[in-house]
Structure 1
Amino acid sequence: MYRGYNLNLNWNPKCDDDFFEAGQELFLQYEETVKKTLKSYALKEGTLDGSKMQSNWFPQVKADIFISHSHRDEKRAIALAGWLYKVFGIKSFIDSCIWGYSNELLRLIDNKYCFQESSRTYNYNSRNYSTSHVHMMLSVALTMMIDQTECIFFLNTPNSISASSIIDKTESPWIYSEIAMTQMIRKKKPRRHISGIEKLEKGGKLNESELRIQYNIDLSHLVEIDINTLIDWKKDFTKSSSPNALDKLYELTQDNDRNLILG
């Protein structure tokens, strides 16, 4: 990861079917790579190969931007990814494209190892154990993706951040984890910069009776941008001869980034 942006996105690009379809096409390949079975992960000792399971169910893909967002903003995120690809040729990774895999994998494991035929219920302790494994696989996979992508866009909407608090809060454990990782993860300059060639909820809606947990999240390290920034970025890139769109975004937001660093 090199840069991070706190994107206040009032624009709703999902209204453009072309962008949404372009975004969907980028992620269809992920579904084709996942083998939805447990048979291939069985080891001789009667255990499951967790490392192999993680690499298959939560595959690492080549992407430039990691888009972190609320599950309720998934269509918006997919359309944004489509816009980024059609306008700049930039490939994005949408975290929710592998969230669903965690539930599917957990269901397979629980049905085989945690279901009790006698009571027709799931063993509580076994379920806790299986959930911890699958969620750790997902967490590690997401951290690896944040590390290898060049840039992160956090979609800051009322679905992801509580609007009733002065301090930013989220009820999504995944958003909490992802933003925390962007603070701790190593910052790497793109190779083209190092070489001196300077070219420029998750989770659905909860009922009041359901468990709700909030986390304070610190967004101060992310440069704030909005729809106007995206429009200016497109204009600047269109007028320039720069082969790399992200360098134009860094150039456009460098004053905000400098003010953020100086504090």
Structure 2
Amino acid sequence: MYRGYQVKVSTLSDLFLPTTVNWKDEKAIFKEKIESIQSQVNMDFSERMKIEDDDGNIDAEKIVKAWFPVQEYDVFLSHSHADVETAIQLAVWLKKYLGLKVFVDSTVWGCADELLAKLDKKYCYEQNTGTYDYDKRNETTAHVHSMLAMALQEMISKSECFLFLDSGNSLDLSLWQSQETKSPWIFEELKTTSIIEKIRPSRMVLREELEHRDNLQKGLDVHYPVGSELNKLTRLTYEDLKSAQTDHQNNQSMHGLDALYNRTPLRIADQFNRGTQTR
């Protein structure tokens, strides 16, 4: 991850006007692609794979690779499940106008609850009583949530940009002023953005080396920002997105995220915290 943004759902309505793009058709195409991926993700323990080793132990790595496959995307889109349609629209817009590959977790990965149900049925259900073993269910729940949390962290790390969809669903309105969420997964994702290493894209480093070959800065001071994780994410507006769209259309060789970055300059403190490692 290199940069983080937050955008209010309420500011995106003009971005999704019918005159801009045929959203019905574009969303249908997006969902068809997702369904194709999901058909590969939605595994069947009994038919598609063996999840136990020779000693009868569950192979967590196999489950994670099959259920939560991690790939490289330009943008990780964090959102409330209630905002999934808006998230898909924004993903389509970013792909169409900025050429960005967007990861919308709820549309790509298998549902953690569905995975948990499969594990519980196979390992926790007691045939003689027709009930589930309470202790075993606690264990399966802990393991599945751990698998999902680790996969989320890796996916955020591999994505160059993190984009948080701010709405009354992701940040409860009663807690809005204190910037709090009731979602443990949104909390997990936002917390991850503040603790993982920030990696500058290699294209930026190469460009800087060509432009400032003899003037590379070294020994930068390290600043530790304070405040909530949301305050560390640059506010992204409708105007920023439209300007980035124009810049990208006028210069197709420009990377879509560079178009965003140029419209939302990093604060000096943020630049200090980016480090020098490249992707």
What is the TM-score normalised by the length of structure 1? 0.85
Q: Structure 1: where are the runs of 5+ without partners?
A: 200-215
Offset of residue 118 of structure 1: 3.0
Alpha-carbon distance between aligned partners in 2 of 1:173 and 1:85, rounded to the nearest angstrom: 28
CA 1:229/1:22 → structure 2, altered by over 3 Å: closer, same or farther? farther
Give 2:205's aligned residue. 194
Q: Is 1:51 aligned to 2:61, yes or no? A: yes
Listed as ranges, the matches of 1:1-263 within 5 Å are: 1-10=1-10, 11-12=12-13, 13=16, 16-34=23-41, 36-39=43-46, 40-98=50-108, 100-165=110-175, 166-196=177-207, 218-254=229-265, 257-258=266-267, 261=270
CA 1:29/1:191 → structure 2, altered by over 3 Å: closer, same or farther? farther
Q: Is the 8 A contact 1:161 1:169 kept in 2?
A: yes
Alpha-carbon distance between aligned partners in 1 of 2:88 and 2:263, rounded to the nearest angstrom: 24
Q: How big is each residue's C-alpha offset from its partner over 1:24-68, in whole Å with a ceiling of 9 and x where there is no partner? A: 244234213225122421211111111111111100123110000
CA 1:170/1:229 → structure 2, altered by over 3 Å: closer, same or farther? same
Q: How big is each residue's C-alpha offset from its partner over 1:56-110, in whole Å with a ceiling of 9 and x where there is no partner? A: 1100123110000000001111111111111122110012125643122111110
Equivalent position amino acid for 1:145 in 2: M
What is the TM-score normalised by the length of structure 2? 0.80
Q: Is the 8 A contact 2:115 2:144 kept in 1?
A: yes
Q: Structure 2: where are the runs of 5+ without partners?
A: 211-226, 272-279
Alpha-carbon distance between aligned partners in 1 of 2:142 and 2:107, rounded to the nearest angstrom: 20
Alpha-carbon distance between aligned partners in 1 of 2:30 and 2:116, rounded to the nearest angstrom: 27
CA 1:76/1:70 → structure 2, altered by over 3 Å: closer, same or farther? same
Q: Is the 8 A contact 2:2 2:201 kept in 1?
A: yes
Alpha-carbon distance between aligned partners in 2 of 1:230 and 1:198, rounded to the nearest angstrom: 28
SS of corresponding position for 1:41: coil
Moved runs in structure 1, 4+ residues, more than 3 A? 12-15, 259-262
CA 1:80/1:162 → structure 2, altered by over 3 Å: closer, same or farther? same
SS of corresponding position for 2:174: coil
Alpha-carbon distance between aligned partners in 2 of 1:19 and 1:198, rounded to the nearest angstrom: 39
Alpha-carbon distance between aligned partners in 1 of 2:196 and 2:205, rounded to the nearest angstrom: 19
Alpha-carbon distance between aligned partners in 1 of 2:149 and 2:108, rounded to the nearest angstrom: 11
Q: Is the 8 A contact 1:169 1:217 kept in 2?
A: no
Offset of residue 194 of structure 1: 1.8
Q: Is the 8 A contact 1:22 1:86 kept in 2?
A: no
> How many residue pairs align between the two structures?
244
CA RMSD of aligned residues (A): 2.4
Kindly name which structure, 1 or 2, has the bigger radius of gyration based on alpha carbons: 2
Alpha-carbon distance between aligned partners in 2 of 1:104 and 1:90, rounded to the nearest angstrom: 29
